[in-house]
Amino acid sequence: MNIKEVAYKKAEEVLTKCAKNTGFYASGLKGGYEATWARDSMITSLGASLLKTKFKKTFRDSLNLLAKWQTTNGQIPNCVGSYNLDRRSDKTYNSIDSSLWFIIGHFVYATAYKDHKILESHKNNIARALTWLKYQDPNEDGLLSQLPTMDWQDAFPHKYGNVINTQALHYATLLMVGGKKMQTRAEHIKKVVNGDIEAYLKLYDEKLGYYLPWNWKNHDGDREQEEWFDSLGNVLAILTGLAKKNIAYNIIEHIEKEKINSPYGLKAIWPPIKPGDKEWHSYFEKCDARTPFEYLNGGIWPFIGGLYVAALVKMKEYERAEKELTKLAEGNMQALQTRNYKIKYEFNEWLHGITGEPKGEPYQAWTAGAYIYGYECLKRKKVIYFE
């Protein structure tokens, strides 16, 4: 077997370790992330759902757990099962992408297993989540707005207002829900984000060649925005179809030019942010991303690499996708040898942005799930679930 096939089998083993009675844990090892996160479990399930029915129950259990703890207002929890000392609770909220991934997950489940039972049983949960999301539009412009730390980059960097990651997920959600009204709203988002209408709200920057990570208000020419490259947001824009064809190619070329895909997968942001930069905030010193090329600050997150392979398939860039999948397999098969592990564990949470050295928690569910998803998209030469 070549490295891609070896990694595929190991990824399935990792998912088996992460599959618990209540749903997918974010990490498969004791002492890791022993809880179910909405975004992690749903991204994990993109790949897990392609392994026949092996993880059907775990996928369903994840959806049931999230639905169980939906708030009265309709918000889906960010995480269930990880005790938070500040909130004195094992359920946390304060996220916008959890509700989006929750809805997407239901349509992925129904498509994967040709089983609409859970979609039907949770139709009220989905409707309430959609209502909650609709009220995250204070400007009444069709775009969802958010506060800092309300998505997967929960401590770093600082972003608010109209965030590309959220717009891409919202666009996909509306298309999956379907119906004329939802499709009209989705097309409106696409036009606004790409600057075809209401250009003052656009997120695509022609000079940079990619989507801004976020923007907000314009104060007489002094705009609240930042210009670092958000890998996940831009990749999701391609994957979901939010990005127009020429923009998608510009994003890919930017990734290649800046070597954001080196040595494996994709760095979370580019360039890294350091003290003294205008984007730096004092509290960054207290989080794991304070060092450039580590964690969210230019560290490599393999799950983004798996989605990038799928995005390349979307653009019919099969040779590039093959190359990226091979590199991703190599990165994922590196063993974490710290913390006195008796066995070498692979499929780590993140890798160092320069050396590619494995860091964070091993046996990470979404690292494995996204790898399988990218592998299967390339094998089938189609973007599964986001056609």
pLDDT band, very low/low/confident/very high, at 372 (cuts 50, 70, 90): very high
- Please state the rounded mean pLDDT for residues 167-184: 98
Residue with the bigger pLDDT between 341 and 32: it is: 32
Neighbours of 326 (CB within 10 A): 16
Hey, is 348 helix, strand or coil?
Answer: coil
- The dihedral of CA 276, 277, 279, 285: what is its sign? negative
Cα–Cα distance for residue pair 47/12, rounded to 1 Å? 9
Cα–Cα distance for residue pair 228/224, rounded to 1 Å? 13
| pTM score over 0.95 | yes
pLDDT of residue 340: 59
Q: What is the dihedral of CA 300, 40, 55, 305, to 10 degrees?
A: -20
Tell me the sheet residues that pair with 79.
Answer: 37, 92
The CA-based angle 207-196-166, given to 5 degrees, is 80
Contact 230, 156 (CB under 8 A): no
> Would you list the DSSP string of 306-328?
HHHHHHHHHTT-HHHHHHHHHHH
pLDDT tens-digit map of 5-22: 999 999 999 999 999 999
Residues whose CB falls within 8 Å of the CB of residue 262, separated by 6 or more in sequence, listed in order: none
Pick left, alpha or beta for residue 385 (phi over 0 → left; psi -120 to 50 → alpha; otherwise beta): left
H or E segment to which residue 218 belongs: strand 214-219
For the ranges 212-221, 223-232, 235-244, the lowest mean pLDDT is seen at: 212-221
pLDDT of residue 338: 61
Residues whose CB falls within 8 Å of the CB of residue 326, separated by 6 or more in sequence, listed in order: 3, 4
State the helix-helix crossing angle for 97-113 and 38-48, rounded to 10 degrees.
Answer: 20
Cα–Cα distance for residue pair 248/383, rounded to 1 Å? 15
Enter the CATH code of domain 3-380. 1.50.10.10
Tokens representing 289? 């991303």
Residue closest to 331 by CA, chosen among 369, 371, 298, 376 = 371
Q: What are the residue boundaries of the structural domains of the chain, listed by start?
A: 3-380
**Rounded to whole angstroms, what are the CA distances from 141 to 85, 194, 206, 237, 367?**
37, 14, 22, 19, 35
- The 214-219 sheet, strands edge to edge: 162-163, 214-219, 222-226
Residue closest to 17 by CA, chosen among 381, 295, 361 = 361
Q: Is the peptide bond before 263 cis (omega within 30 degrees of 0)?
A: yes
pLDDT band, very low/low/confident/very high, at 358 (cuts 50, 70, 90): very high
Tell me the sheet residues that pair with 351.
Answer: 300, 358
pLDDT of residue 344: 79
CA 44 to chain centre: 10
Q: Is the pLDDT of residue 376 over 70?
A: yes
Cα–Cα distance for residue pair 240/237, rounded to 1 Å? 6
For the ranges 29-43, 81-95, 255-269, 317-331, the lowest mean pLDDT is seen at: 81-95
- Please state the rounded mean pLDDT for residues 53-57: 98
Contact 83, 57 (CB under 8 A): no
Residues whose CB falls within 8 Å of the CB of residue 291, separated by 6 or more in sequence, listed in order: 297
Q: Is the pLDDT of residue 45 over 60?
A: yes
Neighbours of 288 (CB within 10 A): 16
